[in-house]
């Protein structure tokens, strides 16, 4: 590589690591593995060392990668929170220790000990105490300036609010989420069709950097303290002595700390941590080798980014080959069908892997996966197993293509994939796998509005098998409901009254509650107003439905296919037998004064709710829209109307006050 090529490659690498560092440190959404990022940094560092004329102070090899997130107060660290120099081989560890030993001889250092600790995979934080009381906490940020996250840190139960001694001290620790809690969090997110956390580190970082501490409080965060940053009135000779003192003060100190005197002992400690990492309750991404003598540390000093008295040995990600025996599909609570790989069991990074998610149809196609393939497994973030490669050269010709099911594997209803979505869903209204979510939606405020029937109560009813489908809500007895709570008589009566009241709802609420794809309150009202009864809607063809304003071909097809299903027809019959109203209650109004007119509501209305104003407009044949355009006829503007009012003025749309609107409807 010549000088020109080196300059171009350094520029390219800096852009890459800046981008990936931002995704990792600032957005808490990594796009590549830690190992891939580390290798880019190694290449950049080596090139800068070979061509020092291109080395600059703004390179990430010379500074910490994080930034202060908008919304947090800035905290200037009295003692910088530096990062560690990474090494990736035992040879590099030996080279480092030999240099330290040489320095120790030159300076006649008697304490030639080291401490090897686990490098916890989390988010670094500094905790400040005055007279033993916790007063402030901050993230590392860029090492010099971090974010004030005091309120969020107060939600972590293992952080003492008051120490056992009245002392002024600043300590550094690593906030993390345990492996068990992380897996539980991701399992819940998968069931709720939320984006999975890439690894425990990003889950912890994202949780700790929430602007709302109530969200942080719900996350299972923990912390291990691993360093004294600053202390008044006390002196220590060694790092190990510091850690023992921190534990006495009441801190949750890094539990893995091994004293070593020779390179052989250091290598054994690194090996021991590597061998036992799977037994640890928390995730690690390496082992840290630290000089124990604190005065010697002062002699060794630091660079702008890293201390010279410590290094981090990074364990390489372990990959193993195995056979993709089969692909099976699971149905989530909201109906999303997820393909799962069934693997020939293989041990990776200390744990046996026999299955892993394949995410969706697109992932299978991108990887070119076939049943029977030899595949390479890696544990992403040292927690989630994933297929990273297919060994196509090992194919024998007996491998089988996989197709996502056209019928739900649980209930047999048709599956569907909406345009622009990766997920394939079950469309069955009575599918047992998605019953919980269907029930939650059916009773919600915008649908059947059954007050008192929340997620917790629905969960209990399902657990006790008191309901097995939506219609069973209307068969619940007073005794069934009262059994859910101690002294539940009043609660039961209120809920029974609410259930009975919901039977009298307008047809549009029932249609909304059925949860037809892309059919919300607005379309439900249009259907109820036009067809008057549920039976008429069930007979409507997709061609007929598509002719209605605000109902396009996709939605029309969704409606027709939904009502053609046996599950839907069965549910409608059950609801009718239970006394649920299936007719429109809206009175016929011949007055169509707003026919063809489009209204937009903006600002805070005093004389109507948004829903009430919309109903009045629709009652007189008009339409409401959420956006202002050239097709808008009127904008009803309340207090604090914002950009919509400005746009309406620029387009010369007629703007109405509430009083002017009242005159129009009288």
CB-CB neighbours of 118 under 10 Å:
24
What is the tally of helices (H) and strands (E) in the chain?
24, 22
Do 131 and 158 sit in the same domain of this protein? Answer: yes
Give domain status of residue 409, yes or no.
Answer: no
Name the residue with tokens 């990430």: 60
Task: List the CATH number of the domain containing 256.
Answer: 3.30.470.30
Flag whether 539 is in a domain: yes
Phi, psi of 455, rounded to the nearest 5 degrees: -60, -40
Which H or E run includes 509?
helix 507-513
Same domain, 454 and 335: no
407: in domain:
no
DSSP state of 196: P
DSSP, collapsed to helix, strand or coil, labels residue 122 as coil
Backbone angles phi, psi at 85, to 5 degrees: -75, 125
pLDDT of residue 30: 65
233 and 86, same structural domain? yes
Same domain, 477 and 368: no
Asked whether 96 and 51 are in contact (CB, 8 A), the reply is no
Is residue 384 a contact partner of residue 199, using CB atoms and an 8 Å limit?
yes
Model pLDDT, residue 9: 87
Reported residue count of the chain is: 666
What are the tokens at 373?
């393939």
Is 405 part of a structural domain of the chain? no
Asked whether residue 305 falls in the same domain as residue 326, the answer is no
How far is C-alpha 177 from the geometric centre of its chain's CA atoms? 14
| φ, ψ for residue 387, nearest 5 deg | -85, 120
CA angle 522, 527, 532 (to 5 degrees): 130
Check if the beta carbon of residue 495 is closer than 8 Å to that of residue 405.
no
- Residue 134's Cβ-count burial label (10 Å; 0-12, 13-18, 19+) is middle
Q: Domain check: are 307 and 326 in the same one?
A: no
pTM: 0.55
Residue that is last in its domain, among 528, 547, 577: 577
For residue 375, tell me if it sits in a domain: yes
Query: How many domains does the structure of the chain reveal?
Result: 5
Q: Which helix (DSSP H) or strand (DSSP E) does residue 361 occupy?
A: helix 361-367
Bridge-partner residues for 117, per DSSP?
257, 288
Domain presence at residue 64: no
Place of tokens 């023992």: 244
Tally of CA atoms within 13 A in the half-sphere of 443 that contains its CB: 24
* 288: enclosing H helix or E strand: strand 284-291
For position 632, which CATH number holds? 3.40.50.10190
**322 forms bridges with which residues in the sheet?**
375
- Final residue belonging to a domain, choices 513, 546, 577: 577
In a domain, 411, yes or no: no
Q: Which two tokens stand for residue 489?
A: 């008589």
Looking at the DSSP assignment, which residues form a beta bridge with residue 624? 599
**Residue 36 CA from chain centroid, whole number:** 22
Inter-residue contact 92 to 86 (CB < 8 Å): no
Active site amino acids: 119
Quote the CA–CA distance of 316 and 285 in Å, as a whole number.
9
The whole-number pLDDT of residue 477 equals 93
Q: At what angle do helices 34-50 and 3-21 cross, to 10 degrees?
A: 150
Residues 274 and 258 in one domain: yes
Q: Are 342 and 325 in contact (CB under 8 A)?
A: yes
Same domain, residue pair 143 and 46: no
Asked if residue 485 and residue 623 are part of one domain, the reply reads: no
DSSP 8-state secondary structure symbol assigned to residue 393: G
- Please indicate, yes or no, whether residues 364 and 470 belong to a single structural domain of this protein: no
CA neighbours closer than 13 Å in the CB half-sphere of residue 387: 30
What is the CATH classification number for the domain harbouring 328? 2.40.50.140
Range of the domain at 13: 3-54
Average pLDDT for runs of 10 along the chain of length 666: 83 83 69 73 84 80 59 88 91 95 91 93 93 94 90 92 95 92 82 73 83 84 95 93 95 94 95 88 91 95 91 86 93 85 83 85 93 87 76 92 93 85 87 89 93 90 91 93 87 94 95 91 90 94 88 90 93 95 81 87 84 84 86 89 87 91 86
Q: Rounded CA gap, 185 and 221, in Å? A: 12
DSSP states along 575-625: HHHTT---B--PPP----TTTT-EEEEESB-SSS-HHHHHHHHHHTT-EEE
Last residue of a domain, one of 254, 284, 313: 313
Flag whether 590 is in a domain: no
Q: Which pLDDT does position 447 carry in this prediction? A: 94
Q: Looking at the structure, do residues 232 and 160 belong to the same domain, yes or no?
A: yes
Residue tagged 């609107």 (tokens): 661
47: domain CATH number is: 1.10.287.610
CATH number at residue 440: 1.10.150.20
Same domain, 254 and 377: no
What pLDDT score does 507 carry?
Answer: 96
């Amino acid at each position: 590589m010549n000088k020109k090529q080196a300059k171009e490659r350094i520029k390219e690498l800096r852009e890459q690591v800046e981008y990936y560092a931002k995704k990792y440190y600032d957005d808490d959404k990594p796009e590549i593995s830690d190992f891939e990022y580390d290798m880019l940094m190694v290449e950049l560092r080596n090139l800068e060392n070979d061509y020092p004329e291109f080395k600059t102070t703004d390179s990430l090899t010379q500074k910490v990668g994080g930034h202060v997130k908008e919304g947090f107060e800035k905290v200037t660290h009295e003692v910088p929170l530096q990062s560690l120099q990474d090494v990736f081989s035992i040879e590099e560890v030996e080279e480092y220790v030999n240099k330290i030993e040489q320095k120790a001889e030159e300076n006649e250092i008697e304490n030639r000990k080291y401490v090897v600790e686990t490098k916890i995979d989390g988010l670094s934080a500094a905790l400040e105490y005055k007279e033993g009381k916790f007063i402030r906490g901050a993230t590392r940020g860029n090492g010099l300036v971090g974010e004030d996250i005091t309120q969020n840190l107060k939600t972590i139960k293992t952080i003492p609010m008051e120490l056992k001694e009245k002392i002024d001290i600043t300590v550094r620790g690593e906030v993390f989420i345990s492996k068990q809690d992380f897996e539980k969090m991701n399992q819940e997110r998968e069931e709720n069709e939320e984006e999975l956390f890439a690894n425990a580190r990003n889950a912890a970082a994202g949780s700790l950097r929430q602007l709302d501490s109530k969200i942080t409080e719900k996350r299972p965060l923990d912390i291990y303290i691993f360093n004294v940053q600053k202390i008044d009135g006390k002196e220590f000779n060694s790092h190990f002595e510091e850690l023992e003192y921190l534990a006495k003060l009441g801190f949750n100190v890094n539990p893995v700390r091994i004293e070593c005197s020779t390179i052989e002992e250091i290598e054994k400690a690194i090996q021991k941590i590597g061998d036992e990492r799977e037994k640890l309750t928390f995730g690690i991404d390496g082992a840290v080798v630290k000089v124990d003598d604190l005065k010697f540390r002062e002699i060794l000093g630091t660079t702008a980014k890293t201390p010279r008295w410590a290094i981090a040995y990074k364990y390489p990600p372990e990959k193993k080959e195995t056979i993709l025996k089969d692909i099976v599909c699971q149905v989530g609570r909201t109906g999303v069908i997820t393909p799962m790989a069934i693997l020939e069991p293989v041990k990776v990074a200390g744990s046996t892997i026999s299955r892993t998610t394949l995410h969706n149809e697109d992932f299978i196609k991108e990887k070119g996966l076939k049943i029977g393939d030899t595949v390479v497994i890696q544990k992403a973030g040292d927690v989630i197993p994933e297929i990273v490669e297919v060994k196509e050269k090992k194919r024998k010709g007996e491998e089988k293509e996989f197709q996502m099911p056209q019928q739900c594997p649980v209930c047999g209803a048709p599956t569907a994939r909406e345009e622009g979505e990766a997920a394939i869903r079950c469309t069955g209204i009575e599918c047992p796998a998605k019953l919980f979510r269907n029930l939650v939606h059916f009773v919600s405020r915008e649908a059947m509005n059954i007050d008192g029937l929340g997620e917790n109560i629905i969960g209990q009813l399902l657990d006790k098998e008191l309901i097995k489908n939506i219609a069973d809500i209307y068969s619940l007895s007073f005794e069934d409901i009262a059994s859910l709570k101690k002294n539940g008589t009043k609660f039961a009566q209120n809920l029974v009254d609410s259930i009975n009241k919901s039977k009298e709802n307008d047809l549009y609420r029932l249609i909304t509650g059925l949860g037809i794809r892309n059919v919300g309150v607005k379309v439900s009202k249009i259907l109820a107003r036009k067809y008057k009864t549920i039976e008429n809607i069930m007979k409507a063809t997709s061609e007929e439905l598509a002719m209605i304003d605000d109902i396009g071909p996709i939605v029309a097809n969704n409606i027709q296919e939904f009502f053609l299903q046996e599950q839907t027809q069965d549910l409608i019959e059950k609801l009718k037998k239970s006394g649920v109203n299936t007719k429109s209650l809206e009175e016929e109004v011949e007055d169509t004064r707003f026919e063809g007119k489009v209204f937009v509501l903006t600002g805070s209305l005093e004389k109507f709710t948004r829903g009430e104003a919309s109903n009045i407009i629709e009652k007189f044949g008009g339409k409401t829209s959420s956006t202002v355009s050239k097709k808008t006829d009127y904008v009803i503007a309340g207090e604090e109307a914002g950009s919509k009012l400005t746009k309406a003025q620029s387009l010369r749309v007629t703007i109405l006050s509430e009083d002017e609107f009242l005159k129009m409807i009288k």
